[in-house]
Amino acid sequence: MAQSDEEEDYMSMVFEDAPKAPKHETSLQRAARRRREGEAAARVKSKAELKAEAEAAREESLATALPSSNKGFKMMAKFGFKQGDTLGKSEDARKEPIQINIKEDKGGIGLESEKKRKFMETMAKADKEAKRIKATEGDYLELRRQEQLEKKAERQLYNAQKTAELLAEEAAEENSQGVSQQVPLKDVNVLWRGLARRRLEKNDHQKQERELHNSLASRLPVYHDDEEDNDSKIALGRDADPFYRSLMNDDVEEDSELAIFEALPAADRLRQIALFLREKYHYCFWCGHRYPDATMDGCPGVTEEEHD
């Protein structure tokens, strides 16, 4: 059974074919149909329905201009009348018949427009409110989207900086023939200096914490085991030599170059690093691959979009 193709998608809202009328109507069906039609025709419509229908027909006719197939039109055309022309010789002659307005109540002059005005006012208010809600909704979504983008860019930036740092260290190692050197912070490329600085700060911070802890502990009236030797101290997480080294050179120097760079949006910084990586190391951040030469054969482009 070649069912798979034929199988009907019963959830689909598309009607492939209009239901086919049975080719032959049986007499019973015919009788039923006639009865149905008869009932529909014979059903007495309510007065309101009739009035609404009559009004609708009237309004429709009133809104429909006489066609140019009208016999009168042809007689008028004989004298040069064209569709859209007016009669007579005055410039401001009427084009349309006077509208018919049927007054249905005893409301005084101005009541209708007063009602309308009030209605419009209410409508306008509601409209404004709806717009305001929608606008805030839109803002919020946009904000969220921006935040997401920002976060993503930050994440990528961090990765890019890591990569750059790694590549730079590798290059430095190669140059120094295996002798590893601690590069002073201000000599680190500004592109990833922030990364290095934050790491440094973090280390310092941890150090300080520890030192603080030790110093406090040393001053607090805690149990002090005189038997404790240095090994025991280290095992208990305390410095063997309480020393306030880091607390003393606490302030990190001002770095205006870094500050300027950090002030740029994350996406810009990311772009700069990506470009730097390409130029210096023929490395494409988006491909995640280091190419052998400057042509970078096989990389689709500089931006993330080009790598989609």
CB of 42 to another protein, least distance (A): 6
Cα separation, 100 vs 67, in Å, equals 20
Choices 7-15, 28-36, 49-57, 215-223; region in contact with another protein by CB under 8 A? 49-57
Cα separation, 49 vs 55, in Å, equals 10
**Cβ distance to another protein smaller for residue 87 or 212:** 87
Which residue of 19, 22, 110, 292 would you call a contact of another protein, by CB under 8 A? Answer: 110
CA atoms within a 13 Å half-sphere pointing along the CA-CB vector of 262: 11
Angle at 189 between CA 195 and CA 171, to 5 degrees: 100
Contact 193/254 with Cβ under 8 angstroms?
Answer: no
Query: Alpha helices of 78-229 — where are they, by DSSP H?
Result: 111-176, 190-219
Which residue of 32, 35, 37, 111 would you call a contact of another protein, by CB under 8 A? Answer: 111
**Cβ distance to another protein smaller for residue 77 or 143:** 77
Q: Is 4 in the site for another protein (CB under 8 A)?
A: no
Q: Is 42 in the site for another protein (CB under 8 A)?
A: yes
And the tokens for 274?
């990506």
CB of 82 to another protein, least distance (A): 10
Cα separation, 137 vs 143, in Å, equals 10
Q: Is 122 in the site for another protein (CB under 8 A)?
A: no
Cα separation, 293 vs 282, in Å, equals 6
Q: Which residues make beta-bridge pairs with 283?
A: 290
Cα separation, 162 vs 119, in Å, equals 64
Q: Is 281 in the site for another protein (CB under 8 A)?
A: no
Q: Is 181 in the site for another protein (CB under 8 A)?
A: no
Contact string 84-103 vs another protein (x = CB under 8 A): -xxxxxx--xxxxxx-xxxx
Kindly tell me the sign of the dihedral angle through the C-alpha atoms of 21, 25, 28, 33. Answer: positive
Q: Is 29 in the site for another protein (CB under 8 A)?
A: no
And the tokens for 28?
């019973």
CB of 12 to another protein, least distance (A): 36
Interaction residues for another protein, span 51-80 (CB under 8 A)? 51, 53-54, 57-58, 61-62, 64-66, 70-76, 78-80
**CA 64: distance to chain centroid?**
47
CB of 71 to another protein, least distance (A): 5
Give the total of residues touching another protein (CB under 8 A). Answer: 52
**Cβ distance to another protein smaller for residue 23 or 47:** 47
Helix, coil or strand: residue 106: coil
Residues that bind another protein (CB under 8 A): 41-42, 44-45, 50-51, 53-54, 57-58, 61-62, 64-66, 70-76, 78-81, 85-90, 93-98, 100-111, 113-114
